[in-house]
Amino acid sequence: ELAWDLKSWAGRNTARWALVGASIWIFAQITATLLSPLPVISFFGGDESRSGYNLYDSLSMMVIFLSVAFKFRSIQNLKLLVYTLIITGTVSAAYGIAQHFGWDPIGGNIQVRVQASFGNTLNFGGYMVMTIPATLAIVHLKRFRNWLQLPIMVALSLQLAGIWFSGGRGPFVALTVSIITLLIFTAVIGSPRKVVKTLVTLVLASTIAALIIILPSPVPNSNIGWGRVASIANEFTSSNDTTGSITKSTNIEGGLAGRFNIWNSSIKLARQWDLPIKEPVLNSLFRPLFGLGPDMYVYSYPLIGSPSSWLRLVDHTHNYELHILMEQGFVGLIGFITLTSFLIITIFITLKKYRNIKGSFDITGTIILAVLPAMIGKIFELQTGVARLADLTMTLALFGAAIAIFELLNQQNNAGQNNSINETHSALRAMLPKQRQKLGASVLAVLTISILIISVFISWDVRRLSASLILAKGHDHPNLTTRAQAWDDAQAVAPERASITYKLFEAYLRTAKEQYNLGNVDEAMRLLMAGRDMLLVYEQRDPLELDIQIGLSKTTSTLAEWGHYEYLDELTYRSQKLARIAPAYPTLLGTSATAMTSVGLHELAIEYADRAIATEEKTKPWSKAWYAKGRALYELGQEEKAISALTTATDKEPGTEAAILAHKVLGEIYRQQGNVELSDLHITLGNADITVFD
């Protein structure tokens, strides 16, 4: 019979208590997925651009974490992990540098702040936070003392230039922490001579990196490194300035000011646990314990977020622990805090144990210096970063490596405790028949789970990858028909990929409007309905994705404009849904108000318009909302109030579509009142071209 006791197994072993924390964390993620308002989205994820938080990604990373923690308890395996980190970091940095100088063979990734292949400049910078101290540490390997010093120096200089070009202030600070930690650890388990060697290597590599940095780049405004570093101190002062324009605005911006905005709204959400759809009371009771559900934060933030001028989705809290609290509740947060707290304690015990076991610095010490400072620097970066699968995977691998190093030292300190292979075989032969049956059941369970995992991998990952390959082959084809067919084929293979589906829909919508203006009504309808059908299929899987809802609202609005009044009921439904699921975005409230007055729901139009207007002090003028309110008041017979609102619409944002429409309504009102002069003036202004696009 298997007798296992947690307390006796973990004992005073902090690494094992860290594994207990990881188990609690995994349990919280699984339970949060089961309680999620959209379990399929919580399991597989919504938009692939916000990776790393759905259960499928989390379980994949946990497999890596546990594999490293249990199976990398040897010098050779830990060296392999360190080399993997350094090589991938160097390749990524070289690609980022190429982007800085305007060369991007893959395409679509050249930005003012480079992001290499990570999709986000912060993820690229966060990865460099781990690779730079690891590369610095391996200069202490004996085999690297001579001719291999130069490749190490080149790799380190590329990584330093890469993180500089990334321009992430959070990664800059985290890198400083990781390097200082490396120097302290080197002094603790090494010698002053090794500290000096580390500093000399860093200075020489920084010199080479500086030569790369000062080279001119054809990309405009690309040399932003000094400005980003200099602005770090200003971030703290401007964020605390209650009289400045930054704190008056509630727009989602970069820097600490924007993060404080998100953090405050997230803390508010942690008290209310708002969701855009109704759920059973029992689920609501479990929200504080298990959160909103993996990948669900993006849908709840617009319900409680401060109003923003821009339609900028917030899918991350910009603090890893806070994000875990939002999506996995207090149980998930306790699990993660337990994991990381015991890992940090394990680090200090590891340093002490190494000094007691080893008489002199050896390869194990080098691995300690390569792994542990990188992990601490990354934990520091997670406090303000936006971790994704690209950098979280190696982060979890380093977590596992910290446990593996600790257990490796325990093995070296307690040699001979492991059973031999022969002893293991003897134990298996001595099993009772009942125990063998249990073993057979375990093997059957493992086979079943393996088949299930392989099936999911083929039906999900391989299928989505094939869509990427189809699109990659035809993306830049000189023939427009072939290029369009590639998008169509890719979308048909992976209709749940929003990045493909929504872009293709926008192309259909744009072309449909062009065809309609040319008089090709049938072709315009065919294109519009084809785009609409794609969104309807996507909506069946994810009814809360904001881009999809905006697209469907555009479709029904266009159909109504073209005289298909049978879609007015759907237009009403779409507009009300947008106002309900995204009240933090006044631009959508203004659009919904306009739609409501066009279908005769004037009181509701005024309500939506007033909600948008109320945000003007902290966002921007909303002519769209003033126009909708004025038109609704006019339809309700309140002409004087309508004139006031419509006049405000023309003054708030002259040249916008809403201001021009307001002029047209004012012209009609004044004509009915017999004021020919004002009527002619506003009719003339209402026939002007749109000069400001919002």
pLDDT at 242 over 80: no
Query: What's the mean pLDDT in 689-694?
Result: 80
**Nearest alpha-carbon partner for 363 in 112, 546, 142:** 142
The 10s digit of each residue's pLDDT in 501-539 is 999 999 999 999 999 999 999 999 999 999 999 999 999
Largest pairwise CA distance in the chain: 106
> Between 479 and 312, whose confidence is greater?
479
pLDDT the model gives residue 239: 54
Per cent of the chain over pLDDT 70 is 90
pLDDT of 15 higher than 60:
yes
Instruction: Give yes or no for a contact between 156 and 86, defined as CB atoms under 8 angstroms apart.
Output: no
The band of 97, judged by pLDDT with boundaries at 50, 70 and 90, is very high
Task: Please tell me the predicted confidence (pLDDT) of residue 690.
Answer: 87
Name every residue whose Cβ is closer than 8 Å to that of residue 1 and which is 6 or more positions away in sequence.
none
Residues 563-568 have a mean pLDDT of: 93
Give the helix/strand (H/E) hosting 413. Answer: helix 389-413
30-87 pLDDT, tens digit per residue, is: 999 999 999 999 999 988 888 999 999 999 999 999 999 999 999 999 999 999 999 9
pLDDT digits (tens, 9 = 90+) for 338-353: 999 999 999 999 999 9
DSSP reduced 3-state for 382: coil
Angle CA(252)–CA(41)–CA(313) in degrees, nearest 5? 10
Q: In the prediction, which pLDDT does 337 show?
A: 98
Identify the burial level of 694 via C-beta atoms within 10 angstroms of its C-beta, where 0-12 means exposed, 13-18 middle and 19 or more buried.
middle
pLDDT given for residue 47 in this prediction: 85
Q: Mean of the pLDDT values across residues 582-607?
A: 93
Region 659-683: what's the mean pLDDT?
93
Is residue 316 scored above 90 in pLDDT?
A: yes
pLDDT, residue 245, reads 43
Tell me: pLDDT of 246 over 60.
Answer: no
Per-residue pLDDT, averaged over 634-646, amounts to 94
What are 410-468's pLDDT values in tens digits? 887 776 444 433 444 454 455 556 666 778 888 999 999 999 999 999 999 999 999 99
Is residue 198 a contact partner of residue 136, using CB atoms and an 8 Å limit? yes
Tell me the C-alpha distance between 317 and 310, whole Å: 18
For the segment 178-194, what is each residue's pLDDT rounded down to a tens digit?
Answer: 999 999 999 999 999 99
Mean pLDDT of 581-604: 93
Alpha helices in 101-224 (DSSP H): 121-137, 149-166, 169-189, 192-213
Q: Is the pLDDT of residue 223 over 50?
A: yes
Q: Would you list the DSSP string of 267-312?
A: HHHHHH---SS---HHHHHHHHHH-S-TT-HHHHHHHHSPP-SS--
End-to-end CA distance of the chain: 71
Per-residue pLDDT at 472 exceeds 70: yes
